[in-house]
């Protein structure tokens, strides 16, 4: 499974949606994922890819980890996975 597919699976699980309902353009807000859901999704991403995601819930826009859309999250995770390799 690609990074993109895995991230979409995690987000879909969190939003209690089918993966087909999660598009690259979707925002977490669109999907009904609240701040607790964001933190839980990031935990799942860290566990899945064995990476450290730089994210502070107090300043969600201040970190390098862009969560403005599913596409942005996928790109950020791909970058972190590549850095790990």
Partner 1 sequence: MQRVAITGAGTVNALGANVPETLQAFQDGRCGIGPLSFRDVDRLSIKIGGQVVGYDEAAHFNRQQISLYDRFTQFTLLAAREAVAQSGLAFTGDLAVQSGAILGTAAGGMNTWDDNYKDVYEGGKNRVHPFVVPKLMNNAAASHVSMEHNLKGPTFTVSTACASSNHAMGLAFQMIRSGASKAMLTGGSEAMLTFGGIKAWEGLRVMSKDACRPFSANRNGMVQGEGAGVFVFEDWDHAKARGADILAEVVGFAMSSDASDIVMPSKQGAARAIAGALNDAGMDASEIGYINAHGTGTAANDKTECAAVADVFGSHADQLMISSTKSMHGHLIGGTGAVELLACIMALRDGIVAPTIGYEEEDAECALDVVPNVARSANISAALSNAFAFGGLNAVLALRAA
Binding site for partner 1 (CB under 8 A): 16, 36, 39-40, 42-43, 46-47
Give the CA distances from residue 11 to residues 65, 66, 67, 83, in Å, rounded to whole numbers and listed in that order. 15, 15, 11, 22
> Quick one: 6 or 71, whose CB is closer to partner 1?
6
Q: How far is the CB of 8 from partner 1 (least distance, A)?
A: 18
Q: Which is nearer to partner 1, 30 or 46 (CB)?
A: 46
How many angstroms separate the Cα of 38 from the Cα of each of 24, 69, 73?
16, 12, 11
Smallest distance, partner 1 to C-beta of residue 46, A = 6
């Amino acid at each position: 499974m690609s990074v993109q597919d895995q991230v979409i699976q995690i987000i879909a699980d969190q939003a209690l949606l089918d993966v087909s309902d999660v598009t690259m353009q979707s925002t977490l807000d669109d999907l009904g994922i609240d701040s607790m859901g964001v933190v839980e999704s990031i935990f799942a991403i860290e566990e899945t890819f064995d990476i450290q995601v730089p994210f502070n819930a107090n300043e969600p826009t201040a970190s390098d980890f862009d969560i403005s859309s599913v596409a942005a999250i996928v790109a950020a995770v791909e970058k972190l996975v590549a850095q790990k390799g």
